Amino acid sequence: MAITREELHAKLKTFFGFDSFKGNQEEIITHLIGGGDAFVLMPTGGGKSLCYQLPALCLPGCAIVISPLIALMKNQVDALREFVHTEDSAHIAHFLNSSLSKTQIQQVRADLTAGRTKLLYVAPESLTKEENVAMLKTIKISFYAIDEAHCISEWGHDFRPEYRRINETVSQIGKAPIIALTATATPKVQSDIQKNLGMTGARVFKSSFNRPNLYYEIRDKSDAKREIIKFIKENKGKSGIIYCLSRKKVEELAELLNVNGIKARPYHAGLDAATRAANQDDFLMERADVIVATIAFGMGIDKPDVRFVIHYDVPKSLEGYYQETGRAGRDGGEGKCITFYNHKDIQKLEKFMQGKPISEQEIGKQLLLDVVSYAESNQCRRKILLNYFGEDYPQDNCGCCDNCIHPKEQFDGQRQMLYVMELILSLKENFKTEHLADVLAGVSNSLIKSYNHHKHPLFGVGKDRDTRFWAAVIRQGLVLHLLDKDIDKYGLITITDKGMDFYKKPYPIMLTEQRSFTECDDDDDESIVTRPKPGAGGSGDPILLAILKQVRSDLSRKLNLPPWVIFSDPSLEDMAILYPVTLEELHHCQGVGEGKARKFGGEFIKVISRYVEENDILRPDDIMVRNVANKSGVKIFIIQSIDRKMPFEDICRAKDMDMNELLDEIESIVNSGTRINIDYYIHRAVDMDDMEDIYTYFKEEAHSDSLDEAMRDLGDYDEMEVRLVRIKFISEIGN
Ligand code: ADP
Ligand code: MG
């Protein structure tokens, strides 16, 4: 069928409301309408859908759109019906998958047979069903569109075996032009797809994969959580996606962000459909700024103003990475792509591969090696990525990735690589990276000693550098294919043929001075917990401290409350270190709960802001991270039990602690600003008159919250009674 340029533009406008085509959409569409096969390589957000949607509306018959995600089909069909303003838009597009009821299927069939439907979305497993094949045989097919076509290839990052049967089914149903579309084709995947679909003669439409507005950065993953919180706080109000590999991590990180005042929602396949949809909606409607997700999130998500994509865990392949980072800055605006990387994560991913078929392992290993090589490279990241997709990027410096902005040093590593190889050979290729690196660096530990390797002639030949350096040399040897790693055999390092050639006839090899990527992980939340809190002995700005004490004493007189009830000394000291200027920041100071911040904080932050401004003070940019574990399980249990008026003795028994320990915990709860009501227990444990005396003492006489002082001043009261009333007092007055 032929269609004029004017007609096509008119249809674009009437059906979709767009004034012009994007990139090479028009060429692709004209080609398809003309009856040719098309293979479309276009980055995420490029506008692939339109390449089959518009022709489907122009051509006689119905187009079959094969798409992998059942969940997205409904969205796409709804969006299309929304777009296409015709009287029978309800019939114009349908989807066929396992989620439909019998009646719904009948409706779809009726529309198809009546020729009312122009686009039918099908999941590959529904397409191959016999009854569907039989039905589709009876209608006129305009063409087949295979979206996310990389799912066909084992080398793609999202291989789906069902995709392999598409070709066979299509020939059963009947011949029609084919358009295959993908955003993630390396040359290898590309050839796989074409061969598999029998469309090697198709015209290939390849757009540039360069996304000039995206900024790429790889960071060492040693303090990732803190850095993420800091980054998000510096980018307040912007939308972003954080990818994690496991559901558990998604949950944890989302919670941590929320505890730190960031509106984040989790998204992963383990959540029920309603929660998932609600969380996704919150993100799209900007009720939440951040979505923390597994890679299950994002396919087909079309939010144009995602400003950052963070990979908390290293992705499994560069294709996945490119697809996911591609969701940033679709509107052409800012898009920061930050990946946290360490070797432990790579090892974890390698472990997942153990026991899988060798061919799959080989593929997975190579894909991962490409990631390692990308992460550790000192080259322009844009250049590496584009090269990976078979595209040449002519410049050497893109000016928009960490390597171009902060170049890393290089050195000739010939000698170092030879040491490594000599050691590998002398140890008969029987050891792993860390062990080899330890021997070269001359690190003697029990493992080394158990092999007597501290007496090895090469022990310590490279002791001018540490284990990390040597491990990096080995990793770069892997990337250069001089070395190989046997994943099934615990990652033993061997030498490849290419490596043997180098060993026999060495030549210069440029290695990168590592920006230190840690071997470990920040999973262990200790990195947050153990960081010394300001104020833990530290002293702050003495002038500010004096001012704050004055503010406190004024306030104390005004409110007729003892100063220490308002803010304790350690709280004020923290303020004199952290210079908080918002209630939110104030909340990060020791002993300042939300309640206290709200109740008494206003005056303090006002004074601090003025002080900061007048004295040109650079506030510490290191953001205090509130840990989820702050309210440890025990504390939460105690708070809940007290809410349920559980006798203290029972709480002690349940948590295996004595009364003193319980009171310590409760004091720490109220001191950090949480309000609890323990009257039910005080009524049982303390005489009412005593209670009032002690309460009045704290309210009117006490000079501090010191228990010792109170015991001394009050004379002969039981310590437990005093403590209980003091808790009541702090909770009621302070919080
Ligand atoms: P892809 O599948 O390639 O990732 P989509 O088909 O989802 O991309 O399209 C991305 C966005 O671009 C969508 O919001 C779509 O409406 C928009 N778009 C597509 N074609 C055009 C066009 N010609 N003019 C304006 N916007 C377009
Ligand atoms: Mg798409």
| CATH 3.30.70.20 fits domain 5-206 | no
Q: What's the average model confidence in pLDDT over 372-395?
A: 86
Q: What's the average model confidence in pLDDT over 111-120?
A: 92
Q: How far is the CA of 300 from the centre of ligand 2 (A)?
A: 6
Both tokens assigned to 119: 């686009």
Residue pointed to by tokens 């007496």: 455
pLDDT for 316-340, tens place per residue? 999 899 989 999 998 888 999 999 9
Q: Which among 117, 111, 77, 116 has a CA at the least distance from the CA of 97?
A: 77
Closest atom of ligand 1 to 304 CA is 14
Closest atom of ligand 1 to 46 CA is 3
Query: Is 0.75 topped by the overall pTM?
Result: no
pLDDT for 612-651, tens place per residue? 888 877 776 655 566 664 456 788 788 888 988 889 999 9
Closest atom of ligand 1 to 48 CA is 3
* Helix/strand/coil for 706: coil
pLDDT of residue 478: 85
Q: Could you please state the CATH topology (level 3) that the domain comprising 629-734 is classified under.
A: Arc Repressor Mutant, subunit A (1.10.10)
**DSSP β-bridge partners for residue 432:** 492
Is residue 671 predicted with pLDDT exceeding 90? no
Both tokens assigned to 36: 């040719």
Domain boundaries, the chain: 5-206, 214-404, 414-508, 526-614, 629-734
pLDDT for 132-180, tens place per residue? 999 999 999 999 999 999 999 888 777 888 888 999 999 999 999 999 9
- Percentage helix, strand, coil for the chain under 3-state DSSP, each rounded to 5: 50, 10, 35
pLDDT of residue 97: 83
Residue closest by Cα to atom 16 of ligand 1: 47
pLDDT of residue 452: 93
Q: How far is the CA of 21 from the centre of ligand 1 (A)?
A: 9
Q: Which of 12, 14, 18 to mutate to test the pocket of ligand 1 (most atoms within 8 A of CB)?
A: 18
Q: What's the average model confidence in pLDDT over 495-521?
A: 83
Q: How far is the CA of 50 from the centre of ligand 1 (A)?
A: 7
pLDDT for 46-98, tens place per residue? 889 999 999 999 999 999 999 887 667 777 787 777 777 666 677 888 998 88
Closest atom of ligand 1 to 326 CA is 4
Quickly count: other Cβ atoms within 10 Å of residue 483's Cβ. 26
Is residue 380 predicted with pLDDT exceeding 70? yes
Q: Locate all alpha helices (DSSP H) within 41-161, ordered by sequence.
A: 48-58, 70-83, 89-92, 102-113, 124-127, 130-137
Distance CA 162, CA 129 (A): 11
pLDDT for 646-669, tens place per residue? 899 999 988 888 999 999 999 988
Closest atom of ligand 1 to 147 CA is 2
Residue pointed to by tokens 């530290």: 538
Question: What pLDDT band is residue 358 in, cutting at 50, 70 and 90?
Answer: confident
Residue closest by Cα to atom 13 of ligand 1: 47
Q: How far is the CA of 691 from the centre of ligand 1 (A)?
A: 70
Reported CATH class of domain 526-614: mainly alpha
pLDDT for 460-484, tens place per residue? 999 999 888 898 899 888 878 899 9
pLDDT of residue 363: 85
Assigned CATH for 414-508: 1.10.10.10
Q: Which of 9, 15, 22 to mutate to test the pocket of ligand 1 (most atoms within 8 A of CB)?
A: 22
CA trace torsion 532, 537, 543, 545 (10° rounding) = 90
pLDDT for 246-297, tens place per residue? 999 999 999 989 888 889 999 998 999 899 889 998 998 888 999 999 987 8
pLDDT of residue 620: 65
pLDDT for 430-457, tens place per residue? 998 889 999 999 998 888 999 999 999 9
Of all ligands present, the nearest one to the C-alpha of 303 is 1
Pocket around ligand 1 at a 6 A CB cut-off: 18, 21-22, 25, 42, 44-50, 183, 302
Q: Which residues surround ligand 2, an ion (CB under 5 A)?
A: 48
pLDDT for 177-233, tens place per residue? 999 999 877 888 888 899 999 998 999 999 888 999 999 999 999 889 989 998 998
Q: How far is the CA of 80 from the centre of ligand 2 (A)?
A: 13
pLDDT of residue 532: 34
Express as a percent the part of the chain with pLDDT over 70.
Answer: 93
Residue pointed to by tokens 């002038």: 543
Distance CA 170, CA 175 (A): 7
Q: How far is the CA of 76 from the centre of ligand 1 (A)?
A: 12
Q: How far is the CA of 271 from the centre of ligand 1 (A)?
A: 29
Q: How far is the CA of 51 from the centre of ligand 2 (A)?
A: 10
pLDDT of residue 401: 95
Q: Which among 152, 167, 183, 179 has a CA at the least distance from the CA of 39?
A: 179
Of all ligands present, the nearest one to the C-alpha of 52 is 1
Q: How far is the CA of 66 from the centre of ligand 2 (A)?
A: 11
Assigned CATH for 214-404: 3.40.50.300
pLDDT of residue 73: 76
pLDDT of residue 526: 35
| Contact assessment for residue 478 and residue 369, using Cβ atoms and an 8 Å cutoff | yes
Same fold, 214-404 and 526-614: no
Q: How far is the CA of 291 from the centre of ligand 1 (A)?
A: 22
Q: How far is the CA of 48 from the centre of ligand 1 (A)?
A: 7
pLDDT of residue 87: 60
Q: What's the average model confidence in pLDDT over 582-607?
A: 84
Closest atom of ligand 1 to 49 CA is 6
Which uninterrupted H or E stretch holds 146?
strand 141-146
Residue closest by Cα to atom 12 of ligand 1: 47
Is residue 376 predicted with pLDDT exceeding 60? yes
Q: What's the average model confidence in pLDDT over 27-44?
A: 94
Closest atom of ligand 1 to 183 CA is 3
Closest atom of ligand 1 to 25 CA is 23
pLDDT of residue 523: 52
List the end-to-end C-alpha distance of the chain, in Å, as a whole number: 76
Question: What pLDDT band is residue 26 in, cutting at 50, 70 and 90?
Answer: very high
Residue closest by Cα to atom 2 of ligand 1: 48
pLDDT of residue 529: 30
* Burial of 603 per CB tally in 10 Å (0-12, 13-18, 19+): middle
Task: Share the mean pLDDT of the chain.
Answer: 86
Is residue 525 predicted with pLDDT exceeding 70? no
pLDDT of residue 654: 85
Q: What's the average model confidence in pLDDT over 570-578?
A: 85
Of all ligands present, the nearest one to the C-alpha of 211 is 1
More confident residue, 240 or 675: 240
Residue closest by Cα to atom 23 of ligand 1: 21
Q: How far is CA 106 from CA 93, 101, 111, 121, 238, in A?
A: 14, 9, 9, 15, 45
Distance CA 591, CA 572 (A): 10
Q: Which among 438, 436, 469, 439 has a CA at the least distance from the CA of 455?
A: 439
Residue closest by Cα to atom 15 of ligand 1: 47
Residue closest by Cα to atom 9 of ligand 1: 47
Q: How far is the CA of 538 from the centre of ligand 1 (A)?
A: 55
Q: Which among 388, 344, 341 has a CA at the least distance from the CA of 367?
A: 388
Is residue 696 predicted with pLDDT exceeding 70? yes
Distance CA 591, CA 703 (A): 18
Distance CA 173, CA 492 (A): 50
